[in-house]
A = this chain, B = another copy of it.
Amino acid sequence: MPKPEKHVFICMQSRAAFHPRPSCSAKAGEVAEEFYAQLEKRKLFDKVAVSTSSCFGPCMAGPSVLVYPEGVMYGKVKKEDVAEIFDQHLQGEQPVERLVMSKMLWG
What's the least CB distance linking A1 to chain B, in Å?
3
Q: Which residue of chain B has its CB nearest to the CB of A68?
A: B68
Q: How many subunits of this chain does the assembly comprise?
A: 2
What residues on B are CB-neighbors of A107 within 8 Å?
2-3
Q: How many residues of A contact B (CB 8 A)?
A: 24
Complex partner residue of A54 from B1, B51, B66, B68, CB under 8 angstroms: B51
What residues on B are CB-neighbors of A106 within 8 Å?
1-3
Q: Which residue of chain B has its CB nearest to the CB of A55?
A: B51
A73 in contact (CB, < 8 A): yes
Lowest 9 CB-CB distances: which A-B pairs, in order? A1-B57, A68-B68, A69-B69, A52-B54, A51-B53, A53-B53, A51-B54, A3-B106, A3-B107
What's the least CB distance linking A88 to chain B, in Å?
20
Binary B-proximity of A1-40 (CB < 8 A = 1, otherwise 0): 1111001010000000000000000000000000000000
